[in-house]
């Protein structure tokens, strides 16, 4: 019996890295899997996928969005990761476990397969929900802190993208809601109803 060895995955990974580097100008770290470097062109706001879906319904357009397993990743303006702890405190979410994190300078994000290239069939693999568009700079589409009194409710370019404060507030609210619902489900299933 002759055994067939599948071809190595490097060409797909090389094509993936080249697409990000050549089409978008994003820094990558070779894989597998290929990783996108955060903190240069963008940072990443990461939260549970179910909370992220609620945020996208609530907020509307944002910059590019990816999903990896049970986590959603929203690209935000570079420098936003450093602002997250202060924003959460200012919005009175500080000290509450939310499952909301950010990756900034020296961070990494698993690169989803670029649009048009075959996706991996592995369960939990990174995929784009809202992919970046080649030939268009990503920075103007990313949620960012806006100067006080200017561009309220809009992202870095004053377009349709929400400002970072609004996005973080919505994300914190939805993360907390998901956490409470999970807790209530566990409690409800564990304890029978009591009537008096």
Q: Quote the number of domains for the chain.
A: 1
CB burial string 140-153: b at 16+ within 10 A, e below: ebbbbbbeeeebee
- Range with the lowest mean pLDDT among 31-40, 81-90, 101-110, 179-188? 179-188
Domain range enclosing 91: 10-179
62: in domain: yes
Residue 7: predicted pLDDT: 45
196: in domain: no
Do 26 and 114 form a contact (C-beta atoms < 8 A)? no
Query: Which residues are CB-neighbours of 147 under 8 A, at least 6 positions away?
Result: none
Confidence check: pLDDT of 152 > 50 = no
Do 35 and 66 form a contact (C-beta atoms < 8 A)? no
Share of the chain above pLDDT 70, in %: 75
- The Cα 130–Cα 133 span in angstroms is 9
- The Cα 61–Cα 78 span in angstroms is 18
Q: Which residues pair with 86 in a beta bridge?
A: none
70: in domain: yes
- The Cα 30–Cα 49 span in angstroms is 26
Q: Which of residues 31 and 11 earns the better pLDDT score?
A: 31
188: in domain: no
113: in domain: yes
Q: Which residues pair with 77 in a beta bridge?
A: 42
Q: Are strands 42-48 and 101-103 parallel, antiparallel or unpaired?
A: antiparallel
Query: Coil, strand or helix: which one is 109?
Result: strand
User: What confidence tier does 140 reach under pLDDT thresholds 50, 70, 90?
Assistant: confident
First to last CA, the chain: 72
Share of the chain above pLDDT 90, in %: 48
192: in domain: no
pTM: 0.79
User: What confidence tier does 123 reach under pLDDT thresholds 50, 70, 90?
Assistant: low
Confidence check: pLDDT of 114 > 80 = yes
72: in domain: yes
Instruction: Dump pLDDT digits (tens) for 75-99.
Output: 999 999 999 999 999 999 988 899 9
56: in domain: yes
Residue 4: predicted pLDDT: 60
Do 166 and 147 form a contact (C-beta atoms < 8 A)? no
């Amino acid at each position: 019996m002759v055994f067939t060895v599948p071809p190595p995955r490097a060409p797909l990974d090389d094509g993936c890295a080249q697409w990000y580097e050549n089409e978008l100008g994003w820094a990558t770290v070779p894989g597998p899997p290929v990783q996108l470097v955060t903190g240069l062109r963008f940072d990443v706001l990461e939260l549970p996928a179910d909370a992220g879906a609620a945020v996208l319904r609530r907020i509307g357009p944002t910059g590019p969005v990816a999903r990896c397993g049970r986590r959603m990743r929203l690209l935000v303006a570079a420098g936003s990761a450093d602002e997250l702890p202060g924003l959460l405190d200012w919005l009175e979410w500080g000290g509450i476990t939310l499952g909301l994190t950010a990756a900034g300078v020296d961070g990494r994000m698993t690169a989803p397969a670029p649009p048009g290239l075959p996706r991996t069939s592995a369960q939990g693999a990174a995929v784009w929900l809202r992919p970046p568009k080649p030939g268009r700079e990503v920075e103007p589409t990313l949620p960012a802190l806006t100067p006080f009194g200017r561009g309220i409710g809009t992202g870095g370019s004053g377009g349709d993208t929400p400002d970072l404060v609004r996005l973080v507030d919505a994300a914190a609210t939805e993360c907390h809601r998901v956490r409470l619902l999970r807790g209530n489900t566990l409690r409800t299933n564990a304890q029978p109803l009591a009537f008096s």
